[in-house]
Copies of this chain bind each other. A is one copy, B any other.
Amino acid sequence: MNINVIEGGVTAPKGFLASGIHCGLKKNEESKDLALIYSEKPASAAGVFTSNKVKGAPIYVSKEHLSNGFAQAVIINSGNANTCNGDDGLGKAKRMSSSEAKALNINTEDVLVASTGVIGVPLNIKAIEQNVGKLTESLSKEGYKDASEAIMTTDTVKKELAINIEIGNKVITLGSMAKGSGMIEPNMCTMLAFITTDINISPTLLKEALKDSADVSFNRISVDGDQSTNDSLFILANGLAENDEITEKNENYYAFLEALKYISINLAKKMAQDGEGATKLLECKIIGANSEEDALLLSKSVINSSLVKTAMFGCDANWGRILCALGYSGVDFDPDKVNVYFESLAGSIIVCKNGSSVNFDEDEALKILKEKEILIKVELSIGDYEVSTWGCDLSYDYVKINGDYRS
């Protein structure tokens, strides 16, 4: 199957419009802080949410609104997470969706809500309510650019991606936007991602496809191991591509699933690459594990290690820290069979063979580690399973962004 990357974001599929404006949640009037995605037709819809015990108020509202499997719009604010605000927060999340529903003249249950920003500060709901009219009037095909900007917090680049595939002579388009950065950890954490598509698919299968895609993408990235309270992934499928509705796991379902995984993995990598203070995208690929679960635990342990992350920041081929992180993962393996490689566009080098040091050219290793995308490849040589996770290095700027309020 061909996957074609095309221009655009969440409005790339048929029937989707978007907008993004400044409503007053962020202090800087140049900074957009309110976004809207709208489907001209009610869409099959599904969501995946944070596993954190402390959840943002918008998550409760969106879950309820998704219970019938349909939605038509998503309103998103940045600058305030509306979390740890008690009943006041819950009431305001409801008002966010009802005021937007009124502006769009649709049912409140068809409007999903997401928030990102500071925790424990009351949400300025009036700023939102006074601006839903303007937000709605601004909807357009070009609005994806403003929308993806309006959901950014400490992100340094906008994250969006659109692709198309062909299913039964129909062109199916998928669009997306996301915000990530700090506090991203496997298990859907501080990230918001929105996927739109014009495919015709039942809500049940859409939900299953979304979950399966999240497991191999958003759940496999990590910036600092902290899991946020507000992470949400939404998908809306409005059927305007006019393919025969997918209601069973046939060939067309799996073609769509492949496309959804492609867009999810690439969005996830964009988030990891833009982790707070990150200078490099890291991938840790575990090969030859006894099970997928083992491979995932080992890979996460390496990608989350502060010592591995600082070593990569310093371009230091310190494979001992990788062995060490494998060792405390809790997974059973044979340290004496482990091989470790560093790979990048500048080449590939083996630095540890059978769990021990090999003589390697330090200059060559430095050249490889100076690249912006580094693959840490670990061969366990005991089984047939392999898993990759993605993360980033740990730099001075991570500390600056998260700790430098008072200096």
Q: Which of A187, A225, A305, A403 has the most CB of B within 10 A?
A: A403
Inter-chain contact B407/A403, CB cutoff 8 Å: no
Q: Which residues of B contact A183 (CB under 8 A)?
A: 307, 324
Inter-chain contact A335/B405, CB cutoff 8 Å: no
Per a CB cutoff under 8 Å, which of B54, B224, B406 touches A335?
B54
CB distance from A190 to the nearest CB of B (A): 9
Cα–Cα distance between A187 and B324 once the two chains are bound (Å): 14
Per a CB cutoff under 8 Å, which of B327, B393, B407 touches A52?
B327
Q: How many copies does the complex hold?
A: 2
Inter-chain contact B356/A406, CB cutoff 8 Å: no
Q: Answer whether A226 and B305 are a contact pair too, CB < 8 Å, given A54-B326, A315-B405, A406-B315.
A: yes
**A323, CB-defined interface residue at 8 Å:** yes
CB distance from A359 to the nearest CB of B (A): 11
Q: Mark A217-238, 1 if CB is under 8 A from B, else 0.
A: 0000000111111000000000
Tell me the interface secondary structure of chain A in the complex.
Answer: loop
Per a CB cutoff under 8 Å, which of B55, B324, B354, B395 touches A54?
B324
Cα–Cα distance between A55 and B399 once the two chains are bound (Å): 31
Cα–Cα distance between A309 and B400 once the two chains are bound (Å): 12
Inter-chain contact A314/B407, CB cutoff 8 Å: yes
Q: Which residues of B contact A403 (CB under 8 A)?
A: 309-314, 316, 393-395
Inter-chain contact A53/B327, CB cutoff 8 Å: yes
Q: Answer whether A320 and B83 are a contact pair too, CB < 8 Å, given A51-B328, A189-B328, A225-B306.
A: yes
Q: Answer whether A366 and B406 are a contact pair too, CB < 8 Å, given A84-B352, A307-B226, A398-B310.
A: yes
Cα–Cα distance between A311 and B395 once the two chains are bound (Å): 16
Inter-chain contact B122/A406, CB cutoff 8 Å: no
Q: Answer whether A320 and B118 are a contact pair too, CB < 8 Å, given A227-B328, A396-B396.
A: yes
Please give me the residue from chain B that is nearest to A53 by CB atom.
B327
Q: Which A residues lie at the B interface, using CB under 8 A?
A: 51-55, 81, 83-86, 88, 118-122, 182-183, 185, 187, 189, 224-229, 304-307, 309-316, 319-321, 323-329, 331-333, 335-336, 352, 354-357, 366, 393-396, 398-400, 402-407
Q: Can you identify 19 A-B contacts, CB atoms within 8 angstroms? A: A53-B333, A54-B323, A54-B335, A85-B357, A86-B355, A86-B356, A120-B320, A120-B356, A183-B324, A225-B304, A226-B306, A226-B328, A227-B327, A229-B323, A310-B399, A311-B403, A314-B404, A316-B405, A393-B403
